[in-house]
Every structure is written in C-alpha cells, then in structure tokens.
Amino acid sequence: MTDPTTPATPEAASESVTATHAGPTFQPTNPLALAPVKSAPSSVDGFVQEFLRELNTGQGVELSGSTVNDQYLALARTVRHDLMTHWLETSRRQDETKAKRVGYLSAEYLLGRQLDNALLATGLDDAVEKGLASCGIDLATLRAQEVEPGLGNGGLGRLAACFLDSLATMSVPCIGYGIRYEYGIFRQELVDGQQVEQLDSWLAAGGPWEFPQPEAAVQVDFGGDTEKYTDDEGVTRTRWIPAWNVLGVPYNYMVPGYQNGQVNTLRLWSAEATKALDLASFNAGDYAEAARAQTFAENITKVLYPEDSTRQGKELRLQQQYFFVACSLRDFIERMVEEGFDLRRLPERIIFQLNDTHPVIAVPELMRLLVDEYELEWDEAWEITQQCFAYTCHTLLPEALEVWPADLLGNLLPRHLEIICRINDEFLADVRAAYPGNEMRVRRMSIVTDDPDRSVGMAHLATVAGTKVNGVAELHSELLRDKVLPDFSEYWPDKFTNVTNGVTPRRFVRLANPRLSGLITEALGVGWLTDLERLQELEPYAEDPAFRQKFRDVKEANKARLYDLLRERDGIDLPEHHLLDVMVKRLHEYKRQSLKLLHIVTLYEQVISGRLAPEDVTPRTFVFGAKAAPGYSMAKQTIHLINAVGKVVNADPRVAGRLTVAFPANYNVTLAENLIPAADLSEQISLAGKEASGTGNMKLALNGALTIGTDDGANVEIRRLVGDEHFFLFGLLEPQVAELQAQGYEPSRYYEENPDLRAAIDLIASGAFADGDRSVFEPVVSNLLHEDRFLALADYQAYLDAQARVDAAYADEEQWTRSAILNVARSGYFSSDRSMRDYMSRIWGIPASS
C-alpha cells in the first residue's frame, strides 16, 4: 500500500501513470513510475511565470483584476509545487525502505502561518520577494493575508508543531495525526476589558496548504452494544454492534524539513455524516430533520476543546478523541503498510507517541482492531500494543489527568470499556502477585476506580500500555515519578524517563528574528540553525563592545517592529525606551498572572500614595498575552482585572512615561513571533512544582530576554545553563511548597503582615479599577485572601525583591546586554532537534536519519 499523501494531490494525479483502486487503498500500478511534480523555479523570471499561471488558472483572474487574497492563494500554490516534488519523493522513499515511522497522536497542532516556513524550507524567499516586486506586489502584504490555523490552545499544540518540524529536518519518517477543527480555538476579543469568545473562521478565505482526500475516508462507529459469537473455527469472540457512525475525511498538510528535501505529512481528520441528507424528510418538508445527521457529525470537529462542564460537553470531547485516533490507527494499518503485512510485526513499523492523555483511547482501539477484526489472540495483541505506544505526560495537576465516567465511556464505546476492564483485571492480578496483601496499592494503581463513582483514569491506562512514560523537564519527570505516579515508577522503574522540551529555531529564531539570525550568522557562519549547540560560540562576543551595540540595535529594531504591529493590529501605542516586561502564556491560576499584576499594582500604589517618586521607577511596559478557557471564571476575571488596571494606569499622568500596561487580544503564533524577539524580561513565575516545562521560557531566552522565574519546569535547566547571575530566581522551592501546604496555608496572614501587599490588594478591593464599584473584582480579592491555591501571596515579597534586582541590572546597559547575549549563547540545548534525538534514543529506537 502507498503512503496516503500519494493520491492527495490533484497535480500528482494529473502527472502520474494510470492508477487503480484496490479496495479501500489507492495503489499506483508502479509507484516508482510516478512522474515528478514540476518544481517551482528558483529564478525570478521562472517564479513570475509560474505565479501568473497560478493566478490565471487557479484563481481565474488576471493580475490587474486580482485581489490580495487571489495573489496570496496563487503564491501559496506556486511555492507548494516545490514542496510537493519532495513530498512525493519522501513518500516513495519511505515506502521502499519500509522504515519505522513515528506516529504522533495529538489533539492540538498550533502550526502558525505556513507561507514563510515553506519559503524558508525551499530556499525560494529571495526569488519570490524579487519576483513579486517586479509584479508590483509586496511580499509582506501577502504574508499578512494568511490566517494561521487555529488548531491548538497553547504550549501543547506548539510543541507538537515544533517536533514535526524537527523530525522532518532530521529526515526521520513521521506522520502526525490530529483533528481538522473547523473553527479551532476561539478568536479572543476584549470588550470593556473582558474576554469574549468569537468563532475563529480560519478557513473562510481558503486553505491552500491542505489536500483533502475524501476517497480515503474512514468510518468511525459509536454507541450500541456488544455480543458474543462463535467463529467458524469454534472460537468464542466478541463483536461490537454500533448504533451510529460518522466518516472521517483526511486532509494532508506538508511538513517540510529545513532545506533537506524531506517533507513529512500531518494528517488531520474532519467529521462528516455517513448519510449527509435524509431525502425522505427533506421531501416531506422537514428540512431540519433531513440535515440532522450531518449537523450531528460535524459537531465532532467543529471546535477545539468544547466546554465540558456539562455531560453533553464531556461526551463531545470523548467523541473527538476517539474519532481521530480511530481514523488514525485504521489509516496506518490499512494504508501505510503493504498488502499482506503480518501485524505481529507492527512494532517494527510504527511507534505511536501519545501527546498527553487526549489520544489514550487509542490503546483499547488498537486492541479491538487486533482482537476483534484481525482475530489475533488476546495475549499476542496485548504484547503488540505495549510495544506500539509511548506516553508523554504534560502536567502535574490532578485535574488535568483525564478521567472518564465509566457510564459515559460505556454508552459511547461499549467494546472499549470491556477491553479496558480486562486490561485492568489482568494488570491488577500482576500487581497483587508482586505485592501480596497490599490492596491499598492495588486500588491506587487501578485503571478503573469506584470512588466516588466508577471511572477510568487515562493516565493510568497510558502508563500500563506504554513502552515508555516521559515527563518534559527534569523536575517535572522527577515529580511525575515520585508524586504523580509513584506506585507505577516503583513497579516499572525502567519505564520512566525524561525528555526536556525544545523549540524549533527555524521558526522562533530565523523567521521570528531575522535581524538576530543575521547577526549570529555574521559571527558564526552558516549551519547553526540545524546545530543549535553552536550558539555557545557566541560567548566570547558578549565581551565585545561593538557586538553588544549591534545586539542592542537588533533589540531596538525588534521593538519598533512590534510597536508598529500593535498600533496597526490593536490600536495600542507603546512608549519607546522602556524595559519590555513580557508575560505570554495560557491564563491559569498556577501560572500566576495574578502575581505579575500585584507587582504592577504595588508600583502604581507606591507612586500615587507618595511613597515612591515617579523618577525612581524604571520605565517599564508590561505586555500580557493570554486566553482563558471559556468556562474558567477566575481566569476570565483575571483578564478583566489586568485590563482594568491597565486602563487606569495608562491614563494616570502621575505614572506617565514610567508604567504602561498592554494586553493585545488574541495572542497567537504570529503575534508571538513579533513579541518574543522584542522582549527584555521573560516572566516565568508559576508556583514551583506546577509547570511541566514551558516552552515560552525557551523561546524568550533564545531571543535574548532575561528570565525572572521560580525553580519550576524547564526554568531549572535554563538557570543552570545560563548561570545564576543571568537569571532572576525567586520563590519557594517545590519541597517548601509541599511543606507549607501540608502545614495549612493561610494567605490572609501574608496580607496582614506585609504593608505593600495589603496596600495593593486594598486598592483593588476599593474599586479603584472599577469606577468605584467594589463588587466587580471582589471574587478575585476573595480568592487571593482566602484560597490562593498557588501561593501568590507567599511568594509576593520574594518576587518584588527579584524585580528590584531586575531594575538594578537593567540600569547597567552594558552588563544587561552581556547577560542577554549569554542567554542566547547558552540556550542551544533547548532546540527541538535535541528533544527529538532524546526521544529517538530513549524511547523510539529510531536512528536519526533513514
């Protein structure tokens, strides 16, 4: 069978030899005889010719009558021609070599815009820019036309995209599997300072980077019941009799490596009804009923993470998760391995990496396929399954480790619940044998629990089934072993490992920060983009005054670019020559945006009360970027308070030129690529022991921002590598956090004992940021004083002390610049290329190139 990318392109079909359909699989009569797709020319004249042809034949317009969107779509298709040549060749090569692939299963992929990445991968950027200019078109205008895919929420999805980029760049066979959300994550608007969720219609203007493949649709079943039957050989088996089903239609995205000719595939699934229209109902005039099945099916892939406070929301989330893994497993088994392949050898061809708990339902699905459909014996199927999955845990928060009510899972996926229960029974028998008489341990390790209600723990299932379990930073992996899954790590000590996260330098240094990239290349020469540890060679340049000045010039130019963007995008005017203090991450209490806000309010209160002279305040601009989950009330109130504080502070002449607060709406990859290179200070202030890793901290350090942070997540490794003198550490350590919580944390005590903290909270409580209405932010104040789950008040004074050290350091321009250069030079470890090498050596058993 051929790789699914082969029939996905109309261009490929038009230039290939005759092909035939064989069952559900599209098979060329001779895969090697596929004629190559014509590459996009690298010459300026050749590009212009191809671009105008696409404009004429693809959009049906002449240049003189074309819109910006016409031009963007024509450009995208012209550029993708070059990628398609390599895409098809990569597919053929991987089919021929039968190389083991990575199957990356993720509910999120926060890809960012594709055009610039494609231009970088193909090396066409210079020819394209000159060619468009000869047509009177500005490349920057077409770049701005692209709407980035809204297929992720934050670090989890961006990490998945970085990993795919690195695997392609390292020529590792990989296929990413996920969901093609019609609207994805919501588009955030701020109305009177409050978050309002709007649909993110990212596909409205066309999606030139995707290739639909309806002929490869997969049927996915739900509901119903199971029954026992005896097969022709007298063996008792189980069959699932589903109540309803949908179709999963694949859409392929190309994932190019950096100028190496490798193009892997990201395969996203969209749900459609198996029967789009009930013609009888339609003819009877009941139009709503006639389209009900289609509406119901499409809901599955409508939005990312439907709000799940209701049972209906929970059921829709489980539908999403099962839908995409069922499509993906069947796709790989039926289309990615050759006809007649012995599935007992499946681990030789694939390792499925479970990106958090969302895809873990793939475990019982693979068992169902092997046992029920391919009729393997249970023990044989379980041995195969345990070699085909590895599990990455991305959290330490108990509420983020998914647990499904057993009745919900049983109603939606009855056969899968049966399989999970059998896996659990056999696993617990082994645990009892290993720890006789220790029923408490057995209960703690059980996948299925009955307290308070019968439920299924997906992290436990993934741990039992996975060949390896990894955390995503050294501290996180340690806490995962010792506190989250201690019984499992004692039972399987060799199963647990660490792979610290990383980010792709192609997007987050080369594309996001071309000025810094140019400066690095000027100093080091080429090659560092695929060997980021070479950044260490920059260390001597930190002592060079001329280089430091060039570095400062880059930072100032990046700030000017950001300010222009925010002025045009959001109507936000930011002052020049300020320390740019940045906190950009998902809004959650454990990330402690509230602590950052208390710092701002403290500075403001000290000035207006006369306790601090304005001229003694280091000029700072505070920039937040964050979305709150639609159902997360406290997070949304925190956004409201940040904006309310900003409105008052920005309008008060007493702090004019000293304090500015900005919260541009709808933080996304595109904004990150402009904001991160401009930042001076990176806020990484989560409570120690709560952040798994973080990747924003890595991106900011790589772009020359100094970090103020706790010893949490990957901050620990950043601090160790860049050096204590170039990192502003504060806050309780994880053991101290645990001790304080065990003693009984009383946040109000810190309020009573600290005059600055009391003054800041009292100012918020007074209604000063709500036109005198004390009730508006009372829930936030009450939460801080009486709950404060993540110890913001306990770390408050240490945080202010660290900020005072920031002020002192920033006052010495040369030393600050030296520290910033050393942050860049010592952060090469945080390349996602290194992360992938660690996965390959510690988990997957795949060589670096194939």
Give me the catalytic one of 180, 591, 627, 640: 591
Active site residue 585: yes
Structural contact between residues 209 and 114, judged by C-beta atoms closer than 8 angstroms: yes
How many Å from the N-terminal Cα to the C-terminal Cα in the chain? 19
Alpha carbons 697 and 573: distance in angstroms, whole number: 26
Alpha carbons 377 and 81: distance in angstroms, whole number: 46
Give me the catalytic one of 476, 578, 586, 690: 586
Alpha carbons 150 and 666: distance in angstroms, whole number: 11
State yes or no: cis peptide before 173, omega within 30 of 0.
no
772-811 burial by CB neighbour count: b if 16+ within 10 A, else e? Answer: eeeebbeebbebbbeebebbbbbbbeebbebbeebeebbe
Nearest 5°: the CA angle 40, 41, 46 is: 120
Q: For 674-730, give the DSSP string.
A: HHGGG-SEEEE-PPTTT----SHHHHHHHTTPEEEE-S-TTHHHHHHHH-GGGEEE-
**Nearest of 714, 720, 705, 715 to residue 823 by alpha carbon:** 705
Give me the catalytic one of 695, 707, 710, 817: 695
Give me the catalytic one of 187, 335, 368, 394: 394
Structure tokens at 637: 């109130």
Active site residue 591: yes
Within 10 angstroms of residue 543's Cβ, the number of other Cβ atoms is 10
Cα–Cα separations (whole angstroms), residue 375 to 23, 230, 369, 378:
20, 12, 8, 9
Active site residue 460: no
Residue that is written with structure tokens 């499409």 in the block: 298
Residue that is written with structure tokens 């919260």 in the block: 663
Element (H, E) at 176: strand 174-179
Alpha carbons 556 and 328: distance in angstroms, whole number: 46
212: exposed, middle or buried (Cβ count in 10 Å: 0-12, 13-18, 19+): middle
Within 10 angstroms of residue 609's Cβ, the number of other Cβ atoms is 10
Alpha carbons 63 and 54: distance in angstroms, whole number: 10
- Classify residue 382 by its DSSP letter: H
Structural contact between residues 86 and 261, judged by C-beta atoms closer than 8 angstroms: yes
Give me the catalytic one of 585, 592, 636, 726: 585
CA dihedral defined by 198, 203, 204, 210, rounded to 10 degrees?
Answer: 180
Map residue 234 onto helix, strand or coil. Answer: coil
17-26 burial by CB neighbour count: b if 16+ within 10 A, else e? Answer: eebeeeeebb
Dmax (CA) for the chain in angstroms is: 90
Active site residue 449: no
Give me the catalytic one of 699, 726, 818, 834: 699
327: exposed, middle or buried (Cβ count in 10 Å: 0-12, 13-18, 19+): buried
**Nearest of 180, 208, 211, 165 to residue 108 by alpha carbon:** 180
Structure tokens at 330: 């069947």
Structural contact between residues 459 and 386, judged by C-beta atoms closer than 8 angstroms: no
**Cβ neighbours of residue 431 under 8 Å, at least 6 residues apart?**
441, 442, 445, 491
**Nearest of 424, 405, 434 to residue 367 by alpha carbon:** 424
Nearest 5°: the CA angle 808, 812, 815 is: 110
Catalytic residues: 394, 585-586, 591, 695, 699
